[in-house]
Structure 1
Amino acid sequence: MKSSLFMDFSIDKGKNQINVTREFAAPLKHVWAAWTEKELLDQWWAPKPWKAKTKTRDFKEGGYWLYAMIGPQGEEHWARADFKSIDTQKKIELHDAFCDSDGKLNMDFPRTKWKIAFNETAAGTTVQVELTYEKLEDLEMIISMGFKEGFTMALENLDGVLAAQK
């Protein structure tokens, strides 16, 4: 279901960045929990009909999240997010990449530097996501793989998770 909440998705090829701003009709504490607790992340992170499954998650600076995106036929695509900086209910910085089920990075794909900022508003919470790539070719590869469509669908899944918490 397409969300009516504000979303802006822009690409800055000069900076090798994707910028996403998204509103959520939920308090900051619920949005933060949905981005930081593996039980909640697994409910929304993958675009349907895919599912996310966490193998391990140590949410602290220097920790990491190892998870799979599992397709409708049972196919698995693994990813690893390394947490660089965490400012509770304000900001998360991480580097993520495709990997194998043990977390060994797949160097055929680029790493993404994520900066995720959380801001409480009168209507709920706004999340700003800045994704940075080493080079333009890396950015273009991720876009061609359907990142915009997949991430948009995942954020719409998050609306459902947040609505269920009310």
Structure 2
Amino acid sequence: MKSNLLMNFTVNKENNTVNVKREFNASLPQVWSAWTEPQILDLWWAPAPWKSQTKSMEFKEGGRRLYAMVGPEGEEHWAIADYTSINPTTNVKWLDAFSDSEGNLNKEFPRSDWNVTFSEKDGSTFVDIVIKHEKLSDLEMIIQMGFKEGFTIAMEGLDAIFAGEEK
């Protein structure tokens, strides 16, 4: 199901950032919940056919989400999101990293700094995501790992959830 909703994905190599602007056909409270509640996050955060499974999540400043991306063969890739700032329904920031199942950092992969802003306009909700990397090689590694393709699939999974909620 191809979406006609806005999806801009830009890479800025000068600033080591990825910027994603995405429109959703859902209310601001629905979109905020989808990004901040583990039971909804797990429905879309991994690109199909992969699944997201949250092991623990404390959604507060200084809190952490520990989760796995589980593949079709049962393979697991663990990750953490350390929440650094939360402004309800408008902005959330976290440091993202690969980890083991106990939340210990995997230092072979770079951490990324996520800044996600939510706004509503004309019945749509817009999510503006800035993902900053420490150095260009970190950014390039994530892009080569297929971040754009995977994240695009995940966004379409979220569209499907909202389409189902509205029926």
TM bucket, shorter chain: over 0.9
1:42 matched to 2:42:
yes
> 2:40 aligns to what SS in structure 1?
helix
Query: Does 2:158 match 1:158?
Result: yes
Q: Give the deviation of 1:123 after TM superposition.
A: 2.9
- 1:129 partner SS: strand
C-alpha distance after superposition, 1:58-103 (max 9, x if no partner):
0000000000000000000000000000000000000010000000
Letter in structure 1 aligned against 2:90: K
The equivalent of 2:123 in structure 1 is 123
TM-score, with normalisation over the residues of structure 1? 0.99
Pairwise CA RMSD = 0.6
The equivalent residue for 1:133 is: 133
- Mapping 1:7-156, distance limit 5 Å: 7-156=7-156
The number of residues matched between the two structures is: 166
Find the aligned partners of 1:124 and 1:87 in 2 and give their Cα distance: 20
Q: Deviations over 1:7-49 (max 9, x none)?
A: 1000000000000000001000000000001000000011000
Amino acid at match of 1:41: L
Q: What TM-score do the two structures reach when normalised by structure 2?
A: 0.98
Aligned equivalents of 1:164, 1:62: Cα separation in 2: 33
In the alignment, structure 1 segments of 5+ residues that lack a partner are: none
1:104-157 per-residue CA deviation (whole Å, 9 max, x = no partner) reads 000000000000000011131000000000000000000000000000000000
Deviation at 1:3, TM superposition (A): 1.4
**Helix, strand or coil for the counterpart of 2:92?**
strand
CA distance in 2, matches of 1:12, 1:73: 35
- TM superposition outliers: structure 1 runs of 4+ over 2 Å: none
**Cα distance in 2 for residues equivalent to 1:4 and 1:55:** 34
Structure 1 counterpart of 2:47, which letter? P
- CA–CA separation in structure 2 for the residues paired with 1:101 and 1:2: 34
